[in-house]
Amino acid sequence: VSTAVIVVAAGSGTRLGAALPKAFVDLAGQTLLERSLRSIILLPYPVQVVVVAPADFVQDAQAIVHKVAPGLESLVSVVTGGATRHDSVAAGLAVVDAGVQVVLVHDAARALTPTSVFADVDMAVQATGAGVIPALPVVDSLKQVDVTGGILGIADREQLRIAQTPQGFPRAELDAAYAAAGSADFTDDASVFAANGGVMTTIPGDEVAFKITTAWDLNRAHQVLGGIPD
Ligand code: C5P
């Protein structure tokens, strides 16, 4: 296969307030990780999938893989994540197959991301040779504030985008960017890639690919699913 998708699912999910790591929280009968994986395996061509799970949840992740992709286990592996998202992505990158040319990195927490976004990002990386992220326009006004909440300045929202995942990259350049970044903590892979001189571009994201971070987000995801039959 020429594309790998690393699904980072090793976060603790403290902001969600659940007893379980976020990717293992239930959303209308399926965990967030299960929903993310279902979207990926619906791609019309085979891809390598690497699930990055918390150390205590590797077996749970393997059980989810078995449930979602029976017969495809040879294409899907589960590895243990690290203390930061950055470390978790690095752990996933370490097991990407030798022949893979394009790597997509996806937050398991963006559980409702449609299959088409994975395909679009993959195609755009292949077509441009650049790093590609799905992104949305900013609808709110943005303020820069100090620690007390006092307003220091404004930002021009026309020039800003909200970065989603999957974020896709030419494999060799992403490997090099992660090697150069060491243990510095970036919040997404596009930042790691750009910090090493990589060229990045955006394609339109999807509203439904929002990151499920808080209890309110989980509620919103439930409501979205109310309109999308399983
Ligand atoms: O914390 P945040 O919401 O930014 O996490 C985004 C994604 O990164 C989540 O899917 C989470 O499971 C993953 N993550 C990880 N390892 C960490 C922290 C976050 O795989 N140490």
Q: What digits encode the pLDDT tens for the residues 110-153?
A: 999 999 999 999 999 999 999 999 999 999 999 999 999 999 99
Intra-chain end-to-end CA distance of the chain, in Å: 29
Q: Does domain 3-133+163-226 sit in CATH 3.40.50.10190?
A: no
Ligand 1 pocket (Cβ < 6 Å) reads 8-11, 22-23, 52, 81-85, 88, 107-109, 211, 213
Task: Decide: 61 and 10 in contact? Cβ < 8 Å.
Answer: no
Residues 202 and 122: their CA atoms lie apart, in Å, by 12
59-111 pLDDT, tens per residue? Answer: 999 999 999 999 888 899 999 999 999 999 999 999 999 999 999 999 999 99
Cβ 97 vs Cβ 5: under 8 Å: no
CB-CB contact of 198 with 169 (8 Å): yes
Domains of the chain: which residue ranges? 3-133+163-226
Strand partners for 53: 80
Interface confidence, given as ipTM, is: 0.96
**What's the CA-to-centroid distance between 150 and ligand 1, angstroms?**
30
Expressed in angstroms and rounded, the spacing between residue 21 Cα and the centre of ligand 1 is: 10
pLDDT tens digits, residue range 175-226?
A: 999 999 977 778 899 999 999 999 999 999 999 999 999 999 999 999 999 9
Q: Which of 107, 192, 218 to mutate for ligand 1's pocket (most ligand atoms within 8 Å of CB)?
A: 107
Counting ligand 1 atoms within 8 A of each CB, the residue from 25, 85, 187, 217 with the most, and so the one to mutate, is 85
pTM exceeds 0.80, yes or no: yes
- Measured from the Cα of 108, ligand 1's closest atom is 10
CA 46–ligand 1 middle distance (angstroms): 25
